[in-house]
């Protein structure tokens, strides 16, 4: 069995740890202890649901499957690398990116990127659990930044009606987006969302 804990740690949260695959630096694993795997189990279920629906993984990492051991459970997914020429660089979070955003042109490009992410979530009814600037990474392209939601997917309801009824899902997404936008605007006033 693979010892994922021997892999380089690239992130750590309240419930789980992220390890970069040293043999394939386009992939990572997110691992939780079995006794504290609520978020991981929810995301595994949600990723499978998205795959069954044929959702394009344009603004979320690709999901490669579940992994487990005696005392842990997790999943393998695409590693969204940073823009450093080395392929395994850690990407900049939206929170980090906003700290050095200054020109009006860059602010407008970010507004466009935020609108594209919002449109993607609504179009495909992708429900975020935690829409936070630290759960979104920034990829730099020739036309501006692209935002990718790397964590906090799937609703927390016991009966996830918003997954199956787009009108309910879109309402939930819009509520979360409004809250997210207000927090961003309060913290980073230059955005003026």
pLDDT digits (tens, 9 = 90+) for 132-148: 999 999 998 888 899 99
Contacts of 113-116 with C-beta under 8 Å, sequence gap 24+, read: 113/138, 113/144, 113/145, 113/146, 113/147, 114/147, 114/181, 114/193, 116/59, 116/146, 116/147
pLDDT, tens only, 12-24: 988 999 999 999 9
pLDDT at 73 over 60: yes
Rounded distance between C-alpha atoms, residue 69 and residue 38, angstroms: 16
Task: Inform me whether the pLDDT recorded for 87 exceeds 60.
Answer: no
Backbone angles phi, psi at 182, to 5 degrees: -65, -45
| Higher per-residue pLDDT: 99 or 84 | 99
Structural Rg of the chain based on CA atoms: 17
User: Can you give the pTM of this predicted structure?
Assistant: 0.93
| Dihedral sign for Cα atoms in the order 125, 127, 131, 133 | negative
CB–CB of 62/27 below 8 Å? no
Q: In which residue are the tokens 């759960």 written?
A: 135
What is the overall mean pLDDT for the chain? 93
Q: How many CA atoms lie within 13 A of 131 on its CB side?
A: 22
**Ordered structural domains, the chain, with CATH:** 4-78 (3.30.200.20), 92-191 (1.10.510)
Each residue's pLDDT tens digit, 160-191:
999 999 999 999 999 999 999 999 999 888 88
How much is the average pLDDT of 41-47?
Answer: 96
The tens digit of pLDDT for each residue in 113-125 reads 999 999 999 999 9
Dig out the tokens for 2 from the structure.
Answer: 């693979």
The residue among 27 and 100 whose pLDDT is bigger is: 27
């Amino acid at each position: 069995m693979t010892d994922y804990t021997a892999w380089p740690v690239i992130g750590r949260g309240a419930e789980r740890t992220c390890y970069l695959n040293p043999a394939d630096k386009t992939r990572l694993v997110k691992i939780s202890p079995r006794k504290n795997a609520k978020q991981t189990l929810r995301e595994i279920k949600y990723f499978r649901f998205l795959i069954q629906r044929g959702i394009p993984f344009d603004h979320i990492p690709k999901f490669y499957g579940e992994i487990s051991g005696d005392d842990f459970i997790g999943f393998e997914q695409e590693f969204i690398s940073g823009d450093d020429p080395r392929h395994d660089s850690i990407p900049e979070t939206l929170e980090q990116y906003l700290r050095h955003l200054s020109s009006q042109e860059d602010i407008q490009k970010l507004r466009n990127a935020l609108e594209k992410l919002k449109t993607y979530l609504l179009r495909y009814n992708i429900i975020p659990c935690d829409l936070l600037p630290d759960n979104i990474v920034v990829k730099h392209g020739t036309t501006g930044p692209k935002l990718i939601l790397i964590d906090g997917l799937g609703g927390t309801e016991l009966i996830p009606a918003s997954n199956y009824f787009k009108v309910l899902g879109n309402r939930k997404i819009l509520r979360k987006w409004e809250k997210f936008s207000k927090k961003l605007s309060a913290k980073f006033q230059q955005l003026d969302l």
